Each structure stands twice: as structure tokens, then as C-alpha cells.
Amino acid sequence: MPAIVYVPHPQATPLLGVFVARTLPGAEPPFASAGFYRQLSRFGRREGLEVFVFAADGIDWQRREASGYTYDETEGRWRERRGPLPTVVYDRSFPATRAGWTRCREQLRQLVRTPGVQALGCGLPGKWEVQAMLERDASLRPFLPPTRRLTGPRPLRALLAEEGSAFLKPQGASHGKGALYVRRAAPGPNAASAKEGGGAGQLHEPDAAAAKGGWLVLGRAFDNAPLALQFAGFGELWQWLSGFARGRSYLVQRYLSLHTADGVAFDVRALVQKDGRGRWQTTGTAVRCGQPGSVTSNLHGGGAAADAATFLRRACGEAQADAALRTIAELAARIPPALEAAHGRLAELGLDFGVDREGRVWLLEANSKPGRAAFKQLADREVRARTLANPVRYARFLLQQSAATGPLKPAGQQV
């Protein structure tokens, strides 16, 4: 491998550093989503910014330099280089391990404390903390599913006794990984007891659910593989769940019927971003449909994207669909300022909404590192271009502001 060349950074060309996790060791380049960053590089050049992709292990704090990659359009390939720390940092790190998450978070905090470096935005914490932030705004509460932390078996047992079903999601995972739907299982001679992922262990006394067929668990494992398991009673279910979670924090919610009449799970992704004037705008909306029988609609689980208006009108009828889209548009305008007021500066959000069988809109999740996969599948090239251009334009806005007033550090919670 050729030596990494030090490239002095021209003062006239600010550096937008895309902070990533080195998840593909041995590959060239050693990070995922290279196509996305290649397109960012092209938009960066148009806006007078150079895009530099780097990871935590490439930072030299003593010299205040970083090793990483820039895309060479002439040669059509990524070139490894070393140079000064970026002027603006865009966090797109998705480490594969908990240790990796901890290391990335620590390095980001140190980066934004470095003179001359600022973050495009500070990433949101876990789902429970985000729920608490949103609940501070009374106007948003009606759209938030009631949520409890799963600190022991009692919250889940109580919800199952009351509703007969529940939805569980991990506090920190993404892409639908680890999401579970628990419901009463129909009694029958073929009901099998599950032994995987933590085991059933000793037998438990039968409970009311066992007499009715036990409990069925549908969802996705942490490698996104689908799972379907059945348990004779709640004790057996809880023992398996404790092993499956492996110490991860979980949230429990009432299960919402967020699917079409023929059973296809779906949600509506609204991508909201700051533009070149530092103002929030809704870049686009798209429906994400799960595979038949899937609990989640996430594209990483094999789903597909569709135009939001077209899909909802077909699934819900024109009047109900149009009312839901108006509500989603209003919430997409209100949620980002509410989160910024509680958390600090943000650059973009992926807001996931559910529409239940009665047409009621629910906010399912707010993600500060949203993907673009749903919009890549749609025919609207203008929307696809804006999803890429807005982070670059907002970075240029921050640089223009800092040139006039000094670097703008994210207020509130740290990265």
C-alpha cells in the first residue's frame, strides 16, 4: 500500500469531515455507504467545500491532524490522505459494537471541543430520552405512544394482561433490529416451546395465558433475521427475553395496528433538514412497507419504499390519507424546534410516523442520523438531490456564520 500523503489544506477551501466507523477492515475504502459520501463530495465541490471521510482511529491529537479519504473524481476512486482536522464535522458513524459506540462518542466530544472545529449537529441520545424531551411539549403528547422502560417483568406482564399484546423495542438499536411484537397465541396441539436465544430452562407454573395457547413473539433478531417463537407461559417468555436482550435496555409500548387491510406493515418517513440558510425544511416523505408478515417496515429488513400520498390514498382512502399527510406535515415542522430546545443544535432528522386503522397519526421515532434509502427508491430526482445537498449547504452556512461571529458550538447536550 502506498504511503499516506500529507495534504496541506488550502485556507480558501473549508473541510467538511464526515466522521464514520471503520466497519469494513481490509476493504478500500474501509467504511460503508461509500456511494453516499461520493455524492456528498460532488455536492461539496459545487458549494466550495472539500469532503473528507475519516474515523476515530485516524485522529492524531498531538498534531491536530487526521488520516482519512477524499474522492478523486478524475481517477474515479478514493484516495487516502492526511491533513488538518476538519472545519465542520458531520457524524455518520454506525459502529458495530458497544465499545465502538463509546469510542466514537468520546472522539466526537473531543473534536467539538477543539478550537476551529464545530459539529454540524449533536446526535440525539436513546429513544427513552427523546421520548421525555418530546413529552415536554403538550401539543406533541397526543401523538406519542405511551411508553415505559422495561426494568423488569412487571410492565410487560401488566400490559399483556390488559391488552393481550405489546410492542418492545431496544433503547439504542436501529433499522428495526431487536424489535418484538408479543401477543396471545392461538391454542392448538402444534404450539411449540422455544428454546433458542437464552433457553426456556426450568418449567414454570402455568398462567392464564398458557391455558389460552401461551405467547407468540414475532420480530427481528439483532442481525435483522426474522424470528417467530412461542412460549407456554409468561415466565418462559420472560426468561427467553432476558437472554435475548443480553443486557440491552428495552422500551415497552401498546401494540399499534400500523398495517394495511391485507396485513402489510408500513410507516411514513419524513426527512427534515436544515438548508443553506439554517432553516428547517421537510425535504421529502416516503412510505416504507415491510415484507408480508413482517412486524417492522424498515428497508433493512427487506421492505420497499413508495410515494407517501399514492400509497396512503390506496390504503386508507383519499380523505383519511390527506388528513394524515397534513398532520404529518405539521408535526414535521414542530418536532425539530422542540427537540433543539431540549437538546441542542441538530442538522437533520428522520421522523417515522405510523397511521393506524382509524387514521390516527403516531410519532414512532426521531433519528438524528437518518438514512436516505427510501428516497433512493423513489422517482423524484429533485428530492434525492436535496437529501444530499442540504447537509453540505448547512455546513457552508455554519462556516459563513462562524466567519462573522466565531465558531458556533452546539448548545445544550454534548455530542
Does any domain span residue 383? Answer: no
Torsions phi, psi for 211 (to 5 deg): -65, -20
Q: What percentage of the chain has pLDDT greater than the value 70? A: 85
Which of 146, 230, 169, 144 lies closest to 195 in space, CA to CA?
A: 230
Q: How far apart are CA 398 and CA 274, in angstroms?
A: 11
Q: Is the pLDDT of residue 177 over 80?
A: yes
Q: Is the pLDDT of residue 189 over 50?
A: no
Residues 274 and 360 in one domain: yes
Integer angstrom CA distances of residue 325 from 289, 310, 339, 374: 17, 11, 21, 17
Residues 91 and 48 in one domain: yes
Q: Is the pLDDT of residue 292 over 90?
A: no
Name the residue with higher pLDDT: 262 or 277.
277
Q: What's the whole-number average pLDDT of the chain?
A: 87
Residues 111 and 137 in one domain: no
Q: How does pLDDT run across 13-31, given as a tens digit for each residue?
A: 789 999 999 989 888 899 9
CATH number of the domain within which 289 lies: 3.30.470.20
Q: 90-99, 169-178, 234-243, 340-349: lowest mean pLDDT where?
A: 169-178
Q: 187-201, 305-319, 345-359: lowest mean pLDDT where?
A: 187-201
- 346 dihedral zone (left: phi>0; alpha: psi -120 to 50; beta): beta
Residues 134 and 154 in one domain: no
Does any domain span residue 64? Answer: yes
Does any domain span residue 413? Answer: no
| Predicted pLDDT of residue 406 | 64
| Predicted pLDDT of residue 410 | 60
Does any domain span residue 374? Answer: yes
Residues 265 and 322 in one domain: yes
Largest CA distance in the chain: 74
Q: How far apart are CA 84 and CA 241, in angstroms?
A: 47
Residues 114 and 152 in one domain: no
Integer angstrom CA distances of residue 345 from 79, 101, 123, 369: 32, 21, 9, 13
Q: How does pLDDT run across 191-229, given as a tens digit for each residue?
A: 444 433 333 222 233 344 444 569 999 998 988 888 899
CATH number of the domain within which 33 lies: 3.40.50
Does any domain span residue 406? Answer: no
Q: Is the pLDDT of residue 401 over 70?
A: yes
Q: 229-233, 248-252, 301-305: lowest mean pLDDT where?
A: 301-305
Does any domain span residue 2? Answer: no
Residues 139 and 177 in one domain: no
Residues 166 and 33 in one domain: no
Does any domain span residue 412? Answer: no
Residues 156 and 90 in one domain: no
Cα-Cα-Cα-Cα dihedral sign, residues 392, 395, 401, 404? negative
Cα of first residue to Cα of last residue in the chain, in angstroms, is 34
β-bridge partners, 88: 16, 118
Residues 52 and 157 in one domain: no
Question: What is the extent of the structural domain holding 307?
Answer: 127-143+259-378
Q: How far apart are CA 323 and CA 256, in angstroms?
A: 19
| Predicted pLDDT of residue 201 | 27
Q: pLDDT band for position 5 (50/70/90)?
A: low
Residues 365 and 227 in one domain: no
Does any domain span residue 206? Answer: no
